[in-house]
Amino acid sequence: MRAMVLENIGTPLKLVDRSDPVPGVGEIRLKVEACAVCRTDLHVIDGDLRHPILPLIPGHEIVGIVDSVGKGVARSRIGRRVGVPWLGHTCGRCPYC
């Protein structure tokens, strides 16, 4: 996959080629059709928000097509168009995460 990556705060994004990620258990992978870079992303790029984990691929409002699923996800999901909203906080532990 190709992605615009922030390697260092305050520097231009860099176009890089990366291996396609493989979905883990309960995960899906999207072929991104559109991705918004919002003001929050720009704050991260400019260093206005502290301690981002770098390198970082900005953009968190996504529309894409499910092109691969991990174990435990119905294969019927492949080919579906989905949207991924902005999430202000996730715990990573509850069923909704």
Task: Tell me the whole-structure pTM to 2 decimals.
Answer: 0.76
Q: Is residue 74 part of a domain?
A: yes
Into how many domains does the chain fold? 1
* Both tokens assigned to 15: 């176009």
94 inside domain: no
pLDDT for position 25: 96
Nearest to 69 by CA among 32, 34, 31, 25: 25
Domain ranges, residue 63: 2-84
Q: Which of 71, 78, 48, 43 is nearest to 58 (CA)?
A: 43
The pLDDT tens digits of the residues spanning 41-79 come to 899 999 998 788 899 999 888 999 999 999 999 999 999
Whether 93 is covered by a domain: the verdict is no
Q: Is 61 inside a domain boundary?
A: yes
CATH number at residue 40: 3.90.180.10
- 92 domain-assigned: no
Q: Do the domain assignments include residue 58?
A: yes
Residue with tokens 């949207």: 83
**Would you state the pLDDT for residue 14?**
97
